[in-house]
Amino acid sequence: MAKQNTVFKDAFNRCLKLLAETSTLPSEPELGQVLGVSRTTVRAILARCEELKLIIWDKRRKIVLRRPEPSDYFPTEETNSLAEIIERSFMRRILAGGAEPGMQINELELAREIGTGTTSVREFLIRFSRFGLIEKRPNSHWVLKGFTREFALELTEVREMFELRSAASFVDLPEDHPAWEELKTIEAVHRAILADIDKRYKEFSELDERFHLLVHKSSSNRFIIDFYDIIAIVFHYHYQWNKANSRERNARALEEHLAYIAALQSRDPKQVDQACRRHLKSARETLLQSIP
């Protein structure tokens, strides 16, 4: 399970929630469908449940012995949502192939690599295909159509509208809202990376995603938050498509983020608007430079 341990841990925790609500568990295929994982992962989950004396597992019979306790669960920080795992595995596969138009993606191979069910992978690919970057072909195959300059310009235009709206909402959050504390934590990580930029500049991509997602969530608009998933896939992986001058580029973006964070903390709408626009303009230029 080492290869995709996060899939196992996330599914195991969700299985424990089922155990907390019922005295029986469904069959292995049904449990796999409910949890969105492969039968191999289901069997690993059942084996751990038996090891913890949560159940007796005898072929098809699964008898619940006790309700789960907090100590039975894996810590939250050790798990990722299945959607996050699929997204990152998908992007790793694309990047490994050079992200060239015409590249084939097989949902069965991707599901096997992640250790999850094909249904979950297919749902992700269908959702991703709405934006025209991949196209369905027969026999569980998908084809990467390519990332064009026109697509990038359209995406940045929508991103800018959404983020300006979200940033304006952020300053209106109450003082005791947890987003302010998270913003302080994110600011500290920015400073720590800048202090050791030569060794840690590659950490920027995930931090970038974390920061902008926090801003978008403040909008409390489900459509903005949902669309951000696609923004993240394109904007926060393009740094890996073009590795030229990545240290300098990431250092500059970290500085821009800190100015943006300071503006948010000031709660001054004018400062926030200026800092947000300045950073989004820079992000657009960087994205366009990464396109051949």
With tokens 């394109």, the residue in question is 234
Sign of the C-alpha dihedral computed for residues 16, 21, 23 and 27 taken in this order = negative
DSSP-derived pairing of the beta strands 141-144 and 134-137: antiparallel
DSSP 39-68: HHHHHHHHHHHHHTTSEEEETTEEEE-S--
One digit per residue, pLDDT tens: the chain, 292 residues?
334 477 788 888 888 888 887 777 888 888 888 887 888 888 898 999 889 988 888 777 788 888 888 888 887 655 556 666 777 677 666 655 555 677 787 788 878 777 777 787 888 788 777 777 778 887 778 887 766 778 778 888 988 999 999 999 999 999 999 899 999 999 999 999 999 999 888 888 778 888 998 999 888 888 887 777 667 666 655 555 555 677 888 899 999 999 999 999 999 999 999 999 999 999 888 877 766 6
Distance (Å, whole) CA 51 – CA 156: 50
- H/E stretch holding 217 reads helix 204-217
- DSSP letter for 73, please: S
pLDDT at 1: 37
pLDDT at 95: 57
- HSE of 155 in the Cβ direction (CA atoms, 13 Å)? 25
pLDDT at 167: 95
- HSE of 102 in the Cβ direction (CA atoms, 13 Å)? 0
pLDDT at 197: 92
pLDDT at 168: 95
DSSP 120-171: HHHHHHHHHHTTTSEEEETTTEEEE----HHHHHHHHHHHHHHHHHHHHHHT
Distance (Å, whole) CA 45 – CA 37: 10
Domains of the chain: 6-77 (1.10.10.10), 82-144 (1.10.10.10), 149-290 (1.20.120.530)
pLDDT at 37: 80
